[in-house]
Structure 1
């Protein structure tokens, strides 16, 4: 049995909605991205859609499943910086960072330091916008917490980090990749291939039946069907050449800002 990380956020529904829950090869473990990052590193799960940044930390040990990611080429809609002041005025101020993300936390640091030339202070907190604003001048939220906060239309500046990244680099942004320890291949390659096929089948079925996904999101968080249709129109759940280039750009900038100790090399599986 392969212990697989299950991410409950709406942006991951196209990966999990049609994945067979009671498959004899699968044991699902639900957590936010940072939870899966730690679980995979500690050997408590075998495979997960981890933060892209976490792959960068463990690239020597992990392999990435081909054709699977959570990416956008511009606006993402659920990785949002809420700020009391314009983003360029955050010099010396404090930003509360969600404790549910690694990729977006470091994307925030890249954008602020590299493109806006500001150096704020950072603190990490659970995702709750009022509590974050009580202690900080800006707050980073991701996933459903970001969507729920934005739907309430708070009186502040809201910056979409996918849009910001694309504006400054012209690149796509990959937030999560499916990864597993390369050491598993020695004994469990056939099982991993079967799980990989299940993931591709579930994704294809979801993308061909998006109305089911949209209605489920509406029941979970509210909003109109038009809102959710527009939201998912931004996403790419594959991992083509252009997305890989954007991911490499992100890793290069993480390395240059000393956010990663080494420059990651992407290793994909199955081999071509």
Structure 2
């Protein structure tokens, strides 16, 4: 049985994929399939993709069908640098205002709702749109962008716009890290091919290790060709991100799930996070 691996092109998750030995993995029966976050969430839910870096919210919606790889996530303790609310008014003045949400992420859109509704007691009107800051702000008061679209928009932000980093806002109000993506595998894939799943897990760990040991320099060199910006920006960006999934990150994620459930954005509470203990031992 082969494993289909969903690969997100966003830079924030790139250290987990950048140094994968793709030729070896493919020779072992893995197939790597490019995806965008919302597409990967759907494909894994439908069983057409076995493994991927999915949004944390998608895990909560599929918690009985997915298991998480240990030691792997995309998290931040404070600024994340690629998830921004751009607003024409201060954040505490968004009640009854129109807020455009990116269609590419579930975790960040619900994180914004938690921040606005629980921490700032704001009740805006939400619309989901394709990520384009100019179209979003043409008839909305604020917009949420994530990933590379958010980074590029921050490079070119109009001076009069307010810009808020959601990771920073979450940390300010909770003192906890926020986990935006997790490495998930469908339970059936573990049941049917645990050996290959373990091989893949160790490959993700090795890619993370290589990226950290090189201080992300080869990867940043490639990123500069595609997205531009300053080398120092990208160095700070990756150094601010957390690619582990320790008890601290898990506690922060459980708080996020609790608040999402309390506000009615999850139909069921998340009682625990199912991490594949055997593969990490």
Deviates more, 1:163-172 or 1:217-226: 217-226
Contact residue 96 and residue 135 of structure 1 kept, 8 A: no
Q: What's the counterpart of residue 170 of structure 1? A: 175
**Residue 104 of structure 1: CA displacement?**
0.2
Gaps of 5+ in 2: none
Q: What's the counterpart of residue 117 of structure 1? A: 121
Q: Secondary structure at the match of 2:31?
A: strand
Aligned residues: 272
Q: What's the counterpart of residue 239 of structure 1? A: 245
Contact residue 82 and residue 159 of structure 1 kept, 8 A: yes
**Residue 114 of structure 1: CA displacement?**
0.1
Q: What's the counterpart of residue 56 of structure 1? A: 60
Q: Secondary structure at the match of 2:39?
A: helix
Q: What's the counterpart of residue 259 of structure 1? A: 265
**Residue 78 of structure 1: CA displacement?**
0.2
> What is the alpha-carbon root mean square deviation over aligned residues?
1.0
Question: 2 CA distance for matches of 1:11 and 1:90?
Answer: 28
Q: What's the counterpart of residue 15 of structure 2? A: 14
Q: What's the counterpart of residue 97 of structure 2? A: 93
Deviates more, 1:121-130 or 1:208-217: 208-217
Question: 2 CA distance for matches of 1:126 and 1:267?
Answer: 32
Q: Secondary structure at the match of 1:56?
A: helix
Q: What's the counterpart of residue 39 of structure 1? A: 43
Alignment deviations for residues 52-95 of structure 1 (CA, whole Å, 9 cap, x no partner): 00001111111110000000000001000000000110000111
Contact residue 3 and residue 189 of structure 2 kept, 8 A: no
**Residue 262 of structure 1: CA displacement?**
1.2
Q: Which TM-score applies when normalising by structure 2?
A: 0.94
**Residue 184 of structure 1: CA displacement?**
2.2
Question: 2 CA distance for matches of 1:153 and 1:19?
Answer: 34
Question: 2 CA distance for matches of 1:95 and 1:87?
Answer: 11
Question: 2 CA distance for matches of 1:83 and 1:3?
Answer: 39
- Is the aligned partner of 1:3 residue 2:4? yes
Gaps of 5+ in 1: none
Q: What's the counterpart of residue 236 of structure 2? A: 230
**Residue 38 of structure 1: CA displacement?**
0.4
**Residue 44 of structure 1: CA displacement?**
1.1
